[in-house]
Homo-oligomer: A and B are copies of this chain.
Amino acid sequence: MTSQEKKKVLVFVANGSEEMEAVISIDILRRAQLEVSVVGIAAENSSFVTCSRGVKIVPDFIISNAFDIEKLVFDAIVVPGGLEGAKTISSNPDVQSLLASAHKSGKIVAAICAGPLAIKTANINKGGMITSHPVAKADLENEYNYQEDRVVIDNNVITSRGPGTAFLFALTIVEQLLGKEKRDEISLPMILASSL
């Protein structure tokens, strides 16, 4: 498979994003040879975002006034949790518009922990099945069919619950994009637990 043929995934990060959820997603998607771009929402003069427990990550792109978000090409978008990060992603009009149009065009929109709040604000798949971290349940259950499974897939929307479900979340995205064989191939060397 050449680089041109590789499927592409955007992973959004902002100040306050949960670093385990972001990094487990990025790493596992790259192990599957997906082309992952880490897209940061940060002040124009900052070269990194500071995640929820202080890990500083340098994104591949930083969205600012000078950045044309519409030029991004992708097959799936991932929104990690971390309440402050998820709120930033929920309140950025360009990112919200990208999420909504991605879902309308049949692309995968995936979110974990508090990340599903950004799916709600983008008005995606209302009435469908969703899950999230328990702290975000009250904000979601009135407008969605709220589930407590560790990962929920409904109409190209993949949602999950927290750092401890992040491996399962990322592997589910891999399976949806590339199939079960690729998921199994990359699972073995990671020495996963018997249940995820």
Q: Does A167 contact B (CB under 8 A)?
A: yes
A23 near B55 with CB under 8 A, answer yes
Q: Roughly how many angstroms separate A195 CA and B146 CA in the complex, as a whole number? A: 25
Q: Which residues of B contact A168 (CB under 8 A)?
A: 193
A interface secondary structure, majority: mixed
Q: Does A177 contact B (CB under 8 A)?
A: no
Q: Please give the distance in Å from A51's CB to the nearest CB on chain B.
A: 8
Among A87-95, A98-106, A158-166, the stretch that binds chain B is A158-166
How many identical subunits does the complex contain? Answer: 2
Question: Which A residues have a C-beta under 8 Å from some C-beta of B?
Answer: 18-20, 23-24, 26-28, 30-31, 36, 38, 47-48, 52-58, 133-134, 150, 161-165, 167-168, 189-196
In the complex, what residue of chain B is closest to A192 when comparing beta carbons?
B164
Given known A27-B20, A53-B27, A55-B23, contact A190–B162 (CB-CB < 8 A): yes
Selected contact of A164 from candidates B20, B36, B52, B190, CB within 8 Å: B190
Q: Please give the distance in Å from A100's CB to the nearest CB on chain B.
A: 27
Selected contact of A58 from candidates B24, B58, B134, CB within 8 Å: B58
Given known A57-B57, A150-B191, contact A164–B167 (CB-CB < 8 A): yes
Q: Please give the distance in Å from A24's CB to the nearest CB on chain B.
A: 5
Q: Roughly how many angstroms separate A133 CA and B191 CA in the complex, as a whole number? A: 8
Q: Roughly how many angstroms separate A52 CA and B31 CA in the complex, as a whole number? A: 10
In the complex, what residue of chain B is closest to A162 when comparing beta carbons?
B191
B30 near A20 with CB under 8 A, answer no
B165 near A191 with CB under 8 A, answer yes
Going nearest first, the 10 A-B pairs with the smallest beta carbon separation are A162-B191, A164-B192, A56-B58, A30-B53, A27-B53, A23-B23, A164-B191, A164-B190, A161-B191, A163-B190
